[in-house]
Amino acid sequence: MKNFIVLLALTLSTSAFARQYIQCSVLGDSTDVAVVNLQTEKGGTLFLSSGMQNPEDERILVNIELDMIEGNNHIYKVVNENGEGQVSVPSEAIGKSSNNLVIDLSFSGLNFQYSCFSRIYND
What's the mean pLDDT in 19-24?
95
Query: Could you read off the pLDDT of 26-82 as tens digits, one per residue?
Result: 998 888 899 999 999 999 999 998 876 777 777 889 999 999 999 999 999 998 776
Assigned domain for 2 exists = no
Q: How many domains does the chain have?
A: 1
The pLDDT value given to residue 5: 43
- Cβ-count burial 103-115 (b if 16+ within 10 Å, e if not): bebebeeeebebe
Assigned domain for 3 exists = no
Assigned domain for 7 exists = no
Assigned domain for 4 exists = no
Using alpha carbons only, give the angle 56, 122, 70 rounded to the nearest 5 degrees: 75
Domain range for 45 is 18-121
The pLDDT value given to residue 43: 95
Query: Are the C-beta atoms of 6 and 28 separated by less than 8 Å?
Result: no
The pLDDT value given to residue 123: 65
Assigned domain for 71 exists = yes
Query: Are the C-beta atoms of 3 and 10 separated by less than 8 Å?
Result: no
According to DSSP, the residues that pair with 44 across neighbouring strands are: 38, 64
- Specify the CATH number for the domain of residue 107: 2.40.128
